[in-house]
Chains A and B, each alone.
Chain A
Amino acid sequence: MKARRRPGGKRRPAAARAGPVAARPDPRDRLRRVLFLVPYAVRHPGIHVKDLARRCGCTEKEILEDLDFLLGVGSPPFAPDDFLDLYVEGDRVHVALHQSFSRPPRFTESEAAALAAAARALGGEGRERVVKALRDSVPRGRRASFDELVERIYAGAPPAPDSVLGRLQRAIADRRAVTLAYRSASSGSPGDRTVHPYTLAQRLGHWYLYGHDSARGRALAFRVDRIQGCMLTEERFEPPSDAELARARLFSEPSGEPIRLRLGPIAAAWALGRPGLELVKNLENGGAVVEVSGADDAWATRFALSFGGAAEVVGPAPARRHFAEAVRRTLARYA
């Protein structure tokens, strides 16, 4: 089997864009990538190297190296028609002979288990249905390993009842408007909001629904654990273009200065590994000063208080004031 690059095909210089840093190059990673790359290129004839790289989550350079690898594959006594014939012409990838690699192989047990663990942490009415479907798509001989692995990863508790998440997922998939019973942080009682749900995303450990709020006339982020009810309506909507959606952010950034916190040694040890925090400096006592962007004053106060006296909000002034007032009011409750 052999991959060929047509003599006329011009090789594009390796792209400079840095890809995700691979922890350790594993030759099996390349095999797994080409087992996806070939069928994907079969299904999308003439796909740009750039798009194929994005699809595979790697750099263009890696894609070109993969094609080189395929070029090196094969040894006599293979006949000409036994080659895997893949070539690049003007930055586009074509497959002349795919040698039965027209679909990717089944999920490995760890692929399926990772996806199942992620799905269980988000939740939804389909939670156990998808775990079963994933199990069925693992080779028969590996299903027992899947069963065991899936019980070894717990990625968190779903943010809302399955019924709420199930309806949100259906509405996103069908592009249907929803009516939400939503209790925002500022207003105590739930209010109805009509929303065109675009997607769900996770930030700082919380799930958000991102969608267009009809009454407010713009796209907003709704914390999923504050959605107390969700109803699908008959209204269908046109989503923003893929490019627009890919550029969208949960919170308008910059939403002011980042909030600064001082952590004592024990708090610093606990906060390690927490996403969204940036280290400003290490303190001599083992503590640290950190910054968090895109969070509001109330979040920062709660976060600092959760360290039981080992953390405080130090700036900017409004956030510091919010923290000071919360400390005094809370202290008054224990007087």
Chain B
Amino acid sequence: MQKAQRLLDLAAFLLRAAEPLSWREIQEQFPDDYGRGTGEAAIRKFERDKAELLELGIPVRYLAGDEDLSAGYLIDKDEFYLPDLRLLPEDLALLYLAGSAALAKGTFPYARDLAHALNKLSFAARAPGASEAAALATRAMSEEKAAPRADPSTVARLLEELSRAMALKKRVHLVYLGAQRRERTERDVDPYGLYQSGGAWFLTGWCHLREAQRTFHLARIVSLSVNASAPRTPDFETRKDFSLAEVATRGWWELEEHAPVRCRVRLDASAPAEARASFGRRARVEEDGAGAIVELEVTNKEGLLRHVLSFGDAAEVLSPRSIRERAREILAGLARGLP
């Protein structure tokens, strides 16, 4: 019998049983699958099936018997059925809208699981109210056209493989194209986390080539292979001091390129509303009549300059002078090519 069919049959068989089913009863019901071979091999096969059912969200339990109940396997109905999440209407809206937008972009870790989860949501609440209809609109509105060169399905596939590797703690081997050096390197990486920044996805993990924690732009991963040996045995432990949020919320200016430098930035009142918050929680923002002065510690001056330039003439680096000179150089270079 095909495995998928067997798993479904097994689940149905256990679900409709009134009492725990003994190993013998299961063997009798599935003589071709668990009845043949040595007892040991059949039990191992059954245990693998149990593990796969659990991965589908179906927990099969072994109950040691007592005087009222015989020993055996069962699926606890309370543990099987998706419960009502008892969410407030606004919380249900949050789940529906966030999940639908993430799915629409086509690139999200566990994208296929996300699609299944969104489907199941319709069973997780008594009345979906306006949220379900709103989520359909979210999905249609959030779809994006493809990115240049990077085939979105490639990033989607990388995300899928990396999410699996991360969950099972399997080491991956990367062929990676550096941005600055434009050269290919090969390395082993322990995948610690995946994060999104500026619409692109990054992998962060322990790089065995550099012997340090490193971050990789998914679109620049040329190829990836997951260590296939012992798929259910972890290859690594994540370092205790690792914090994904810390890595993911770093601004460009916080990438470690040089010793920290105090910088000051002027934001005009005409700067977009989101500009102030864009400098992150570690920046000090002081409002004055003309807008705001942002003071922050910078370990990548070029990164800060790029960020400030993105606000056009509504922002300016006040100090240090080296960044101002660099700004002049860049802008003069651009101006030379303009009509």
Contacts and interface: CB of A to CB of B under 8 A. Distances in A.
A188 B269 contact: yes
Interface in A277-324: 277-279, 282, 286, 288, 290, 293, 298, 301-303, 305-309, 312, 320, 323-324
B113 A111 contact: yes
Given A112-B117, A330-B313, A149 B167 contact: yes
- Of all A-B residue pairs in the complex, the 3 with the closest CB atoms, nearest first, are A273-B219, A279-B148, A126-B91
B97 A111 contact: no
Given A137-B124, A170-B93, 8 more contacts: A33-B116, A75-B30, A104-B81, A119-B98, A125-B90, A139-B79, A154-B244, A330-B312
29 contacts: A32-B56, A34-B8, A36-B116, A74-B5, A82-B12, A84-B12, A100-B16, A101-B15, A104-B82, A106-B83, A118-B99, A126-B94, A133-B85, A136-B83, A141-B59, A155-B102, A199-B135, A246-B136, A248-B137, A272-B200, A273-B155, A276-B145, A303-B310, A307-B306, A312-B334, A323-B338, A326-B312, A327-B334, A331-B331
A100 B306 CA distance: 59
B112 A29 contact: yes
Interface stretch (B63-71, B125-133, B225-233): B125-133
A69 B4 CA distance: 9
Interface stretch (B40-48, B256-264, B270-278): B270-278
Contacts of A46: none
Contacts of B197: 156
A235 interface: no
A169 B83 contact: no
Contact of B182 (A29, A115, A273, A286): A286
Interface residues of A, number: 153
B89 A173 contact: yes
Contacts of B9: 1, 73-75
Interface in A207-253: 207-208, 210, 223, 225-226, 228, 239, 242, 245-250
A312 B231 CA distance: 47
B265 to A, nearest CB: 12
A335 B5 contact: no
B33 to A, nearest CB: 9
Given A156-B197, A331-B331, A274 B147 contact: yes
Interface string B210-245: 000000011110000000000000000000000011
A113 interface: yes
Contact of A56 (B77, B119, B177): B119
A107 B120 CA distance: 8
Given A330-B313, A333-B313, A106 B81 contact: yes
Nearest to A329: B313
A140 interface: yes
Interface in A40-67: 40, 43, 55-57
B119 A249 contact: no
DSSP majority for the B interface? helix
A273 B201 contact: yes
A327 B135 contact: no
A130 B131 contact: no
Contacts of B57: 35, 104-108, 111, 138-139
B322 interface: no
Nearest to A248: B137
Nearest to B156: A23
A117 interface: yes
B209 interface: no
Given A118-B102, A324-B339, A210 B141 contact: yes
Contact of B83 (A121, A137, A248, A333): A137
Choose among B56, B86, B305 the residue with the greatest number of A CB atoms under 10 Å from its CB.
Answer: B56
A199 B95 CA distance: 12
B255 interface: no
A275 B309 contact: no
B105 interface: yes
A28 B113 CA distance: 11
Contact of A309 (B55, B146, B330): B330
A77 B137 CA distance: 48
A137 B125 CA distance: 12
A73 B16 CA distance: 17
A119 B123 contact: no
Contacts of B108: 114, 118, 155
B5 A151 contact: no
Interface string B1-32: 11111011100110110000000000011101
Contacts of A113: 110, 113
Contact of A302 (B13, B163, B182, B312): B312
Contact of A111 (B117, B140, B147): B117
B335 A331 contact: yes
B62 interface: no
A128 B294 CA distance: 31
A127 B91 CA distance: 8
A26 B277 CA distance: 43
A328 B197 CA distance: 29
A324 B309 CA distance: 14
Contact of A115 (B8, B32, B118): B118
A324 B313 CA distance: 12
Nearest to A129: B91
Interface in B248-297: 248-249, 269-270, 272-274, 277
Contacts of B270: 188
B270 to A, nearest CB: 5
Interface string A171-211: 01111000000010100101000000011111111011010
A272 B133 contact: no
A245 B137 contact: yes
B110 to A, nearest CB: 4
Contacts of A205: 198-199
B147 A21 contact: no
A118 B102 CA distance: 6
Contact of A248 (B87, B94, B140, B249): B140
